[in-house]
Amino acid sequence: MLSRKTRLERAKYILARLEKLYPNPPIPLDHSDAYTLLVAVLLSAQCTDKRVNLVTPALFKLGKNPKQMAQQDVADVLEIVRPCGLGPQKAKAIVGLSKILMEQYNGKVPDDLEKLETLPGVGHKTAQVVMAQAFGVPSFPVDTHIHRLAKRWKLTKGKSVLETERDLKDLFPENKWNKLHLQIIYYGREHCTARGCDGKTCEICSHFA
């Protein structure tokens, strides 16, 4: 692994380039509040954001808040979310977490990482996305794009997403985390795809080649 000094120099260059390419990266999942964001992020596991955005209008028409969703049959939710993959698990989780939010949190999504992680279907990455994008708490959710690029750019050994998260938090300023995680995602989708860049092709990779 490269020295921390070298990785910091790389991080500085990457941050500067991404700021120019994506000065105001939008949140890719359509939502109106913390609850709809939570559900959308849950649905995005092993599914594209584009497909999630096609599914959620019908889902939120069925239930746009925990109170409404908690009253739905899992089968009805499954009928809508099936195109997102892992339909049975996701439908059960959506209804289940909605019931918990009503019973334990007065129908509100908690702005607490540990509490979020106890909800059905909500893992560490999902909880971090909600903390960052719904509540503005500095977080660095690591998805497959970020994990892949961080390893490709030699910012981390990339043995696990948690290791990648730790290494990136060490290299980048905390006040940049929430925005930067979106910037890296967009760059990975548009310029440094898994098959479209061999680690030497895109602008950032070629700079380090």
Catalytic annotation, residues: 125, 143
Q: Are 97 and 124 contacting, i.e. CB atoms less than 8 angstroms apart?
A: no
Task: Read off the amino acid at residue 126.
Answer: T
Contact partners, residue 132, CB within 8 Å, separation at least 6: 138, 139, 140, 141, 177, 178, 181
Render the chain in DSSP notation, one character per residue.
---HHHHHHHHHHHHHHHHHH-SSPPPSS--SSHHHHHHHHHHTTTS-HHHHHHHHHHHHHH-SSHHHHHTS-HHHHHHHHGGGSSHHHHHHHHHHHHHHHHHHSTT---S-HHHHHTSTT--HHHHHHHHHHTT--------HHHHHHHHHTTS---SSHHHHHHHHHHHS-GGGHHHHHHHHHHHHHHTS-TTT--SSSSHHHHHH-
